[in-house]
């Protein structure tokens, strides 16, 4: 029988917030906290910086985005905690990893000059920094419905044969360095017919975004992603609670109001998505 949530705080681990905190990424952590606390689930956030150890009893892990310079600066610190992070992932602790942080938790990153960075291997993905930077609105069809946000990246993520978050409706997505969609650029996207006027068109090829296997989610959806897409925030909280034999209480009226505003914000993007 499911225990009532709230008996002990939900322990959220925020990895390297100083170096990987651009793009309003810490908003994701605030939103997770807000959506849990509104429902009476207390939250304890640990901001883990370089040199610190992974605390015990972590229920949910978040890592944000940053520039390549931050990636290089943080890589050694990420490797130092790679083993406990992999152990958390193996025990089913949900992870949300965005942009540069997602790449660092992968197996490797090949920088533009060919230098290789070893990752923490929490996610079985590899990244190649190459190709045109894509900057623009980003819409992905997921198992939770349409996710909408902002894409800003100059790299390809190869997820192998693993499952993505979903199909790209507007934007570029992972675009593996080899295989289907290789070498796609903003211009190619525009030429593909994904640019829509008034309504969203499903991109005609098989481009996909991110990584979502069991409780591990990695993506280049910014916005921050959980602001525009509260269903994803609730999915993460639920996954964290279920692991402890608890359930996520129903959304409170303030969250319902936030969800309504988020749906309007998503609709603005989906009505006429744009890229540079």
* Position among 30, 54, 107, 252 found at the interface with other proteins (CB under 8 A): 30
CB nearer to other proteins: pick between 37 and 162: 37
How many angstroms separate the CA atoms of 105 and 221, rounded? 16
Among 136, 164, 171, 210, binds other proteins (CB under 8 A): 136
Q: Which CB sits closer to other proteins, 150 or 211?
A: 150
Structure tokens at 192: 């593909």
**Shortest CB 71 distance to other proteins, Å:** 12
Instruction: Pick the stretch among 18-26, 169-177, 207-215, 234-242 that binds other proteins (CB under 8 A).
Output: 18-26
Nearer to other proteins, 50 or 231 (CB): 50
Nearer residue to other proteins within complex by CB, 22 or 242 = 22
- Please state whether the peptide bond connecting residue 120 to the residue before it is cis, i.e. omega within 30 degrees of 0: no
Select 113 or 276, whichever has its Cβ closest to other proteins. Answer: 276
Number of residues binding to other proteins, judged by CB under 8 A: 42
Sign (positive/negative) of CA torsion 253, 257, 263, 269?
A: negative
Binding mask 204-233 for other proteins (x = CB under 8 A): ------------------xxx--xx-----
Beta bridge partners, 43, equal 10
**137 in contact with other proteins (CB under 8 A):** yes
- Determine the interface stretch with other proteins among 1-9, 67-75, 78-86, 102-110 (rule: CB under 8 A): 67-75
Task: Count Cβ atoms within 10 A of the Cβ of residue 107 and give its class: 0-12 exposed, 13-18 middle, 19 or more buried.
Answer: middle
Cβ 228 vs Cβ 238: under 8 Å: no
CA–CA separation, 153 vs 176, rounded Å?
Answer: 13
Task: Give the DSSP letter string of 141-187.
Answer: EETTEEEEEEEEEEEEEE-TTS--SEEEEES-----SSSTTTT--HH
DSSP output for 26-63? HHHHHHHHHHHHTTT--EEEEEE-TTPPPPSS--EEEE
Q: Provide the binding-site residues for other proteins, judged by CB under 8 A.
A: 18, 21-27, 30-31, 34, 49-51, 66-67, 69-70, 135-137, 149-150, 152, 222-224, 227-228, 254, 257-258, 261-262, 264-265, 267-268, 272, 274-276
């Amino acid at each position: 029988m499911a225990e009532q949530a709230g008996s002990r705080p939900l322990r959220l681990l925020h990895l390297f917030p100083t170096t990987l905190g651009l793009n309003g990424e810490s908003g994701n952590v605030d939103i997770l906290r807000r959506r849990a606390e509104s429902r009476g689930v207390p939250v304890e956030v640990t901001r883990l910086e370089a040199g610190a150890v992974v605390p015990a009893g972590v229920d949910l892990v978040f890592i944000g985005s940053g520039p390549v310079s931050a990636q290089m600066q943080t890589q050694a610190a990420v490797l130092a905690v790679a083993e406990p992070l992999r152990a958390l992932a193996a025990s089913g602790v949900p992870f949300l990893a965005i942009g540069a942080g997602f790449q660092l938790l992968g197996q490797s990153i090949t920088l533009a000059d060919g230098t290789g960075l070893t990752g923490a291997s929490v996610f079985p993905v590899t990244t190649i920094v190459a190709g045109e930077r894509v900057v623009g609105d980003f819409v992905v069809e997921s198992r939770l419905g349409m996710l909408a946000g902002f894409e800003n990246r100059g790299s390809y993520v190869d997820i192998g044969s693993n499952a993505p978050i979903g199909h790209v409706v507007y934007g570029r997505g992972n675009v593996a360095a080899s295989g289907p969609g290789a070498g796609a650029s903003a211009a190619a996207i525009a030429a593909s017919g994904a640019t829509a006027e008034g309504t969203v068109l499903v991109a005609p090829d098989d481009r996909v975004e991110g990584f979502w296997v069991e409780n591990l989610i990695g993506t280049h959806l910014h916005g921050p992603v959980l602001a525009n897409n509260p269903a994803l925030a609730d999915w993460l909280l639920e996954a964290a609670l279920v692991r402890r034999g608890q359930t996520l209480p129903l959304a409170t009226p303030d969250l319902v109001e936030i969800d309504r505003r988020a749906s309007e914000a998503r609709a603005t993007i989906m009505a006429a998505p744009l890229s540079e």
